[in-house]
Chain A
């Protein structure tokens, strides 16, 4: 275990260059290029806020702000998990032909999605300014913490799904279905008050719930995140991260043969 971590550290430059390649490669050749990082989630937010505030009449103040604060972290999580399923297979050529700690691939993939989220937070901050809500600067210090917690969760799940997909390709489709449903059990388009009392514990079982709630608390409610949410988010994420790391370490030896 210690050895693996050392190996990964030795290959840190590979992670950086893969991230750089991923970020630069993604929009290369498209006319709007890097702007797509913003356009895509922005359109999503516009559509959802139109549907939910006009048709469903959701009674949340400044709904677009509430939505955008939850949507950006969700997009990161969704990309990491969904894209995570195929990230090893996508690099089959490399995996089959050269040695490097295999963890590098999901780490690089999730990290590039993470960088995209950081960039998209420019929109979030703009939205906060536009709304006139303003920032609580002290509370803002919790923002990096919750981002790191979410990063651990996303990476942990990416470890699991990427390694299993190598052996079992259906997982990619299964994950697609799960993610489609998952967004609806996460308080992004509604808040917890809409959820009937008896179902609330269920929603909280979802590890993304406390994370999204903490984002809301920091940026929407401008309050110090509640300790139980922080502990829950941090504990569960760390656990999943460790499990993911171990599962990946068990499965990665036969990657080259299975692809």
Chain B
């Protein structure tokens, strides 16, 4: 890899080429002699391909994030870069000194003081005493443990322990820094400090490869994301784009999973009920039936909304209910994808089954990360029909993202007659790339 350069004439410091890695998966591993003789079949194994041939390059000073669901091979990739594991096929070239923030506090001895452990721990990263001497003050200052540094580590709280470990690891001079999901150290103040330090390290020209599930951190530090799926690189590119696509897919995976789980729960309840029917424990039977009813009640929402999502919940004491819920775009078509700035309508069909003096229709929109985004309500006091429709028309000010719809049909004292949570996903698309955040605002830039 002699001064290998990429298209932009940057120096390549990490080159991964057609790397394949398989693990042996034993049914039940026999590692002692007797077991091997007594039961030879136990030694049988299957090879599981974790990486099926991945290639990528990282240029000097670049920060690359690796994302993917659990078991996709991202941690294996990092371990291959660290040289803890070796590829079965293909090769990896790294240029410069590699340091990894994978295992914090390796080699800490509880009876030794913080100061002594700094030396031990640093030596495990291949750092000489002399180098540690030079950075000792930096490390202690970073850990914020000045007063405790000469106490044995066993007297530390777990937070202090991790702070010390992190301080050593991050104060290592390296050309390439590998990080696996560790920016969750200490309190939020310390986390922020670590993050700032990481940015500083990046600015000084260190190449970084990071594995994390925190997209937020990834967006802020990475120049590029690599998405690994089933041992192959699915996609790579600008963090924001790759990240959003990935999250979107994870979300739909989650919803499919809920559907599957719901189905399983239903079947299990059915079976338990049959078993209970023969026995006497009525209390449990009641609980089971209640649970079954709940599920059935949730599923009535399928008829209410075409875009019903599994996981939607329905409550309320009854007496009134929603009969249909639709979202229409500006062309009057039923949809669940709308644009920022578009004129839309939400139509709510209802039916009131008992005598009520007044009702209230409430509507809430929540972003998929749980942030309550918008809410409104309509109170109906007199001369309302027993069944009919209320329509909410609005100019959509929400920006790109995924939202869910919650609805309530209540009495004026707030007693819920019918309540619906996470009924349908609403996908908002934004044409311009200039605005970010929750919602659009009428705005104007001026140069003076």
Contact = CB atoms under 8 A, between A and B. Distances in A.
Interface of A: 10-14, 16-18, 20-21, 24-25, 28-29, 93-100, 167-170, 253-254, 256-257
B31 A256 contact: no
B85 A21 contact: no
Interface in B388-412: none
A170 B124 contact: no
A99 B129 contact: no
Nearest to A165: B31
A21 B124 CA distance: 12
Interface string B28-71: 00011110000000000000000000000000000000000000
A17 B157 CA distance: 24
B33 A98 contact: no
Contacts of A25: 109, 111
A180 to B, nearest CB: 18
Q: Which 5 pairs between the two chains have the least Cβ-Cβ distance?
A: A97-B103, A13-B123, A170-B33, A17-B120, A14-B123
Interface residues of B, number: 31
A20 B124 CA distance: 13
Interface string B114-135: 0000011011111111000000
B84 interface: yes
| Interface SS of chain A | helix
Given A13-B128, A17-B120, A257-B85, 17 more contacts: A10-B126, A13-B123, A21-B107, A24-B109, A24-B111, A29-B111, A94-B103, A94-B106, A97-B102, A98-B100, A98-B103, A98-B124, A98-B125, A100-B126, A168-B33, A170-B32, A254-B86
Given A170-B33, A257-B23, A257-B85, A94 B123 contact: no
A253 B86 CA distance: 7
B112 A21 contact: yes
| Interface SS of chain B | loop
Given A17-B107, A168-B33, A99 B98 contact: yes
Interface of B: 23-24, 31-34, 79, 82-86, 98, 100, 102-103, 106-107, 109, 111-112, 119-120, 122-129
B84 A94 contact: no
Nearest to B101: A98
A99 B119 contact: no
B155 to A, nearest CB: 14
Nearest to B122: A13
B113 to A, nearest CB: 11
Nearest to B23: A257
B24 A257 contact: yes
A14 B107 CA distance: 10
A94 B107 contact: yes
B103 A93 contact: yes
A258 B31 CA distance: 10
B150 to A, nearest CB: 15
A14 B32 contact: no
